Amino acid sequence: MTEEQLIDVQDDKGKALEWAIGVDSLCRSNDTSGNYITGEGKVDAGSVYIPMSRIAMRGSNGLIPASMLPSSVDDIIFGTLAVTSSSAKFTDSDTGTIYASPESQRSDPELPPAENIIYYDTTTELQYRYIVGQEATSPNYGFIEVPGSRAISPGYGIAVETTSGGNVTTVSAKKADFYTMYRNDSNPLVVNDTPSNLPLSTDYVEHSVLDVIVENNRLTKVTGLTPDARYAINVQLDCTPNTLSANIINVSLTCGSVPVIARQMNMAGPATTSVTKLDYCCDFKNGNDTELIVQLSAEEPITVKTTRFTIFELL
């Protein structure tokens, strides 16, 4: 049989049952030459027939056709998959061979991808099988991602731990670091046009690894920041004018290298006890610093009480 005839018989269940190979028994009870198995109880079993559906035969090239092999013996080719708007090409990193799809975009010496190969992209660590029937419908022109091949990589905020046997993988998400002061018990302090540290109480505080240093009821700095992480800050103030005026002034907050944030305050009263509530929010990417300085200034002297100060990590 030619290889094509073998594949035709093997792929057709009906034909595979109709075709068989005869096998003779070696138990020759009447043979005394010693060339065959002899002895009491050994009986010539004659010939038996093995259906083609149970046999994997070699083709004309001396190899077993891929269709007769289980998928567990598929080869793996390591390389890179490049996908454009018109084609997908996998380059073997060992041989430089290029497997291209679809056929219309394939040029010499590029080869058609085989369906019994695992294509391992070493750049993305993804694995693909090629299915010719999905060449025209899949985004990668027949290169279909193998389910479960997408790896989970550890990174900032994500820790990946696998058991020694490799059977169980645990993914742990990092909890956001934070510091918050949420009661208006800070002592009122005067702020003027010279930037000064933010008034802050250390009562009614919750925090994780982030912490603050407070001296003379003022926030000196926030500590425990992670380099290159992102953070958000919210500051809420109660402000009263020291002296009434007809002006509307800027009350400005500075958070590290973040551009100054200004809120307006009416200094006209009706009294120096009139409270203006100001709210500041900003987010920023931290540099290499582990500490942050927050300062406040006002174009005219005002008395300030911090009613909330919160900084938290953005994951």
Asked if 225 and 231 count as a contact pair (C-beta separation under 8 A), the reply is yes
| 63-88 tens-digit pLDDT | 666 666 665 546 899 999 999 999 99
Euclidean distance between CA atoms 14 and 53, whole angstroms = 9
Asked if 26 and 36 count as a contact pair (C-beta separation under 8 A), the reply is yes
pLDDT higher than threshold 70 for residue 258 = yes
| 144-185 tens-digit pLDDT | 998 877 766 677 777 777 666 555 667 888 889 999 998 766
Strands 117-121, 75-83: pairing is parallel
Sign of the C-alpha dihedral computed for residues 161, 164, 165 and 166 taken in this order: positive
Q: Which residue has the tokens 């077993």?
A: 64
Give the length of the chain: 315
The pair of structure tokens assigned to 115 is 């369906």
Asked if 142 and 131 count as a contact pair (C-beta separation under 8 A), the reply is yes
Query: Confidence band (pLDDT; 50, 70, 90) for 293?
Result: very high
Q: Which residue has the higher pLDDT, 190 or 30?
A: 190
Asked if 169 and 199 count as a contact pair (C-beta separation under 8 A), the reply is no
**Residue 81: partners with Cβ closer than 8 Å, 6 or more residues away:** 88, 89, 90, 119, 121, 124, 126, 128, 140, 143
Most confident among 11-25, 49-63, 165-179, 207-221 (mean pLDDT): 207-221
What does the pLDDT read at residue 44?
A: 67
Query: Confidence band (pLDDT; 50, 70, 90) for 95?
Result: very high
What does the pLDDT read at residue 48?
A: 77
Query: Confidence band (pLDDT; 50, 70, 90) for 113?
Result: very high
pTM above 0.85, yes or no: no
pLDDT higher than threshold 80 for residue 4 = no
Euclidean distance between CA atoms 244 and 50, whole angstroms = 107
pLDDT higher than threshold 70 for residue 31 = no
What does the pLDDT read at residue 186?
A: 66
Asked if 241 and 212 count as a contact pair (C-beta separation under 8 A), the reply is no
Asked if 255 and 294 count as a contact pair (C-beta separation under 8 A), the reply is yes
Closest CA to 141 of 171, 99, 107: 99
Mean pLDDT of 134-138: 90
What are the residue boundaries of the structural domains of the chain, listed by start? 3-68, 72-145, 178-314
Q: How many CB atoms lie within 10 A of CB 296?
A: 26
What does the pLDDT read at residue 203?
A: 85
Mapping DSSP onto H, E and C, the string for 77-97 reads EEEEEEECCCCEEEEECCCCC
What does the pLDDT read at residue 160?
A: 77
What does the pLDDT read at residue 155?
A: 73
Q: Which residue has the tokens 């279909």?
A: 144
Asked if 290 and 223 count as a contact pair (C-beta separation under 8 A), the reply is yes
Q: DSSP 3-state assignment of 15?
A: helix
pLDDT higher than threshold 80 for residue 191 = yes
Alpha carbon 156 to chain centroid distance?
A: 11
Mean pLDDT of 124-146: 91
What does the pLDDT read at residue 51?
A: 76
CATH architecture classification, 178-314: Sandwich (2.60)
Mean pLDDT computed over every residue of the chain: 84
Q: Which residue has the higher pLDDT, 269 or 62?
A: 269
Euclidean distance between CA atoms 57 and 292, whole angstroms = 74
